[in-house]
Amino acid sequence: MAKELLRVEHIGMKFNLSKERVNDFREYVIRMLKGKKLEKDEFWALKDINFSIHEGERIGILGLNGAGKSTLLKVVAGVFKPTEGRVIRNGKIVPLLELGAGFDKNYTGRENIFLYGAVLGYGRQYMEEKYDQIVEFSGLEDFMDVPIKNYSSGMKSKLGFAIATIAEPEILILDEVLSVGDGKFRKKSEKKILDMMQDGTAVLFVSHSLAQVKRICNKAMILEGGKMIAFGDVDEVAQVYAEMTGELDELTVGQKNLVKKKNKKKKTEKIKQEDKREVMEES
Ligand SMILES: Nc1ncnc2c1ncn2[C@@H]1O[C@H](COP(=O)(O)OP(=O)(O)OP(=O)(O)O)[C@@H](O)[C@H]1O
């Protein structure tokens, strides 16, 4: 049986949302001195999430804006400590969440490669061996001696992705990172991820592109309002999601026909129910 690399048990994540706005720190201190605490609302971004990832599994996470996708990835990666439940990790995780977020803007591209490498747990010698490969992948050969503050956001993301490609994770966590950079870079990074998957790397992947999820993943889940409402085979879950969002363009002809058939059945049932109600009202 395939090795279980990660298990998520009854995860819940609560945020405190301030109901009132405080414009600056001075106003905050005055309120505290007056003994006026800010009113806070509790908000559960995730509630009772359970699943596991085994070797060779690539799970897509689907959901509308604010459904809790990024929060779930951050909990799995250990960025957030969950309010409830636990994450059991049995494999090396490399998260590609906010690419380039760890860069120091005053250092050059070259210096940041070594810095970022250290964050990923790699020493100077290993990074020196991998340096040319990283620069080549990023396509930023001419900008290595330029401080990061002069990079565009696309350039930062490219460099962040290029550094992460040297890692050899058992689980790769991807949050929308395959939509960074220009079309050429996007294709190249998707190919790189597919190559890593050939080597057996498991993937947890958030994307708003249903087509991309179907290309990369073999399983998927749907989050809605912080709850997992579907989990299973990627084609089946993608079909449910397409129905929810009306993204039928992304489906194959066969899948579209299936959805149309289902919708027709629903419509007929609705008409039948309305007819029945009218008859009952008349009598
Ligand atoms: N640090 C935080 N403090 C308070 N609320 C937060 C925090 N991070 C996320 N949230 C809230 O949690 C909910 C889920 O956010 P999350 O970013 O996980 O959604 P998402 O599904 O990734 O959305 P999107 O598709 O827009 O990226 C949102 O309502 C968001 O406002």
Mutation to probe ligand 1, out of 19, 42, 61, 70 (largest number of atoms < 8 A from CB): 70
How confident is the model at residue 30, as a pLDDT? 76
142 CA to centre of ligand 1 in angstroms:
37
Rounded CA-CA distance 22/2 in Å is 52
Delimit the domains of the chain by residue range: 1-21+41-92+170-181+200-248, 98-167
Residue given tokens 């489906």 in the structure block: 251
What's the rounded Cα separation, in Å, for the pair 122 and 18?
40
pTM, two decimal places: 0.75
Separation between Cα atoms, residue 221 and residue 203, nearest integer Å: 13
Which residues lie below 8 Å from residue 16, measured CB to CB, with a gap of 6+?
40, 41, 42, 43
Strand partners, 119: none
**Topology of the domain covering 1-21+41-92+170-181+200-248:** Rossmann fold (3.40.50)
Q: Using CA positions, which residue lies closest to atom 18 of ligand 1?
A: 68
Pocket test for ligand 1, best of 41, 71, 228, 241 (most atoms within 8 A of CB): 71
What was the pLDDT predicted at 121? 81
Atom of ligand 1 nearest to the CA of 72: 18
How many Cβ atoms sit within 10 Å of the Cβ of residue 233? 12
Q: Which residues contact 155 (CB under 8 A, 6 or more apart)?
A: 140, 143
Report how far residue 127's alpha carbon sits from residue 118's, in angstroms, rounded to the nearest whole number: 9
Give ligand 1 pocket residues (Cβ under 6 A). Answer: 15, 17, 45, 63, 65-71
Instruction: Find tokens 């565009």 and name the residue.
Output: 152
205 and 174 in contact (C-beta within 8 Å)?
A: yes
ipTM associated with this complex: 0.96
DSSP state letters, 90-156: -S-EEEESSTTTT--TTSBHHHHHHHHHHHTT--HHHHHHHHHHHHHHHT-GGGTTSBGGGS-HHHH
Question: Whose C-alpha lies nearest to ligand 1, atom 2?
Answer: 15
Report the SS3 class of residue 226: coil
10-residue mean pLDDT series, the chain (283 residues):
91 80 70 68 92 94 93 91 95 75 88 88 91 94 95 88 84 78 81 82 89 91 96 95 76 60 69 69 64
Atom 7 of ligand 1, residue of closest alpha carbon: 15
Type of residue found at 142: D
Predicted pLDDT at 238 = 94
**DSSP assignment letter at 37:** P
CA of 67 to the centre of ligand 1 (A): 7
